[in-house]
Amino acid sequence: MATAAMPREAPAVLPRHVAIIMDGNGRWAAQRHLPRAAGHRAGVEAVRSVTRAARAMGLEALTLYAFSSENWRRPEDEVGALMKLLKFFIRNDLAELVRENVRLRVLGDYRRFPADVVELVDDALERTAANTGPILAIALNYGAQAELVTAARRLAERAARDGLAPETIDAAAIEAELETRDLPPLDLLIRTSGEQRLSNFLLWQAAYAELLFVDTLWPDFDAAALAAALDSFGKRQRRYGGL
The annotation places the binding site for Mg(2+) at: 23, 210
> Alpha-carbon torsion 127, 132, 135, 137, what sign?
positive
| Angle CA 67–234–58, to nearest 5 | 60
* No. of helices (H) and no. of strands (E), the chain: 7, 6
Q: What Rg value do the Cα atoms of the chain yield, rounded? A: 18
Cα gap 234→141, rounded to integer Å = 31
- Count of CA atoms in the C-beta half-sphere (13 A) of 26: 7
- How many other C-beta atoms can be found within 10 angstroms of the C-beta atom of residue 170? 8
Cα gap 152→226, rounded to integer Å = 35
Binding residues for substrate: 24-28, 36, 40, 68-70, 72, 74, 191, 197-199
Alpha helix locations (H) across the chain?
25-31, 36-57, 76-99, 115-128, 144-162, 171-175, 223-234
What are the φ and ψ backbone dihedral angles of 189, each rounded to 5 degrees?
Answer: -120, 125
First to last CA, the chain: 48
Out of 71, 109, 200, 220, pick the active-site residue. Answer: 71
> Alpha-carbon torsion 130, 114, 93, 25, what sign?
negative
What are the φ and ψ backbone dihedral angles of 195, each rounded to 5 degrees?
Answer: -70, 145
Binding residues: 23-28, 36, 40, 68-70, 72, 74, 191, 197-199, 210
Q: Does 71 qualify as catalytic in the annotation?
A: yes
Residues involved in catalysis: 23, 71
